[in-house]
Amino acid sequence: MHEIYLDNNATTKIDEEVLNAMLPYLKSEFGNPSSLYSMGTKVKEEIDKSRKSVADLIGAKQEEIIFTSCASESNVTAIMNAIRSNEGKKHIITTKVEHASIMETMHYLEGKGYEITYLSVDENGNIDLSELENSIREDTVLIAVMMANNEIGNIYPASEIGKIAKEHDILFHVDAVQAVGKIKIDVEKIICDTLSISAHKIHGPKGIGVLYVRDGIPFIPLIFGHQEDNRRGGTENTAYIVGLGVAARRLLEHMDEDNKRIERLRDKLEDEIISSLDGVLIYGDKKNRMPNTSSISFLGVDANELMFMLEGFNIYVSTGSACNSREAEPSHVLKAMNADLDKYSPIRVSLSEYTTEDEIDEFVKKVINIVTMLRHKNK
| C-beta of residue 33 within 8 angstroms of C-beta of residue 226 | no
Gap between the Cα atoms of 217 and 194, Å rounded: 9
Contacts (Cβ under 8 Å, ≥6 apart) of 21: 242, 243, 245, 246
Backbone φ and ψ of 85, nearest 5°? -85, -10
DSSP character for 15?
P
Q: How many other CB atoms are there within 10 angstroms of residue 358's CB atom?
A: 10
Query: Could you give the residue numbers annotated as active site?
Result: 323
Q: Is 296 exposed, middle or buried (0-12, 13-18, 19+ CB in 10 A)?
A: buried
Spell out where the chain has E strands. Answer: 4-5, 65-68, 91-95, 115-119, 140-146, 171-175, 194-198, 209-213, 280-283, 293-298, 315-316, 347-350
Q: Are strands 115-119 and 91-95 parallel, antiparallel or unpaired?
A: parallel
Distance separating alpha carbons of residues 320 and 150, to the nearest angstrom? 8
Q: What is the CA radius of gyration of the chain?
A: 21
Residues contacting residue 335 through CB under 8 Å, at least 6 positions apart = 341
> Three-state DSSP class for 198?
strand
The answer to whether 291 and 304 are in contact (CB under 8 A) is: no
The answer to whether 226 touches 38, Cβ cutoff 8 Å, is no
DSSP SS3 for 74:
helix
Helix (H) / strand (E) containing 135: helix 129-135
Q: Rounded CA gap, 351 and 315, in Å?
A: 12
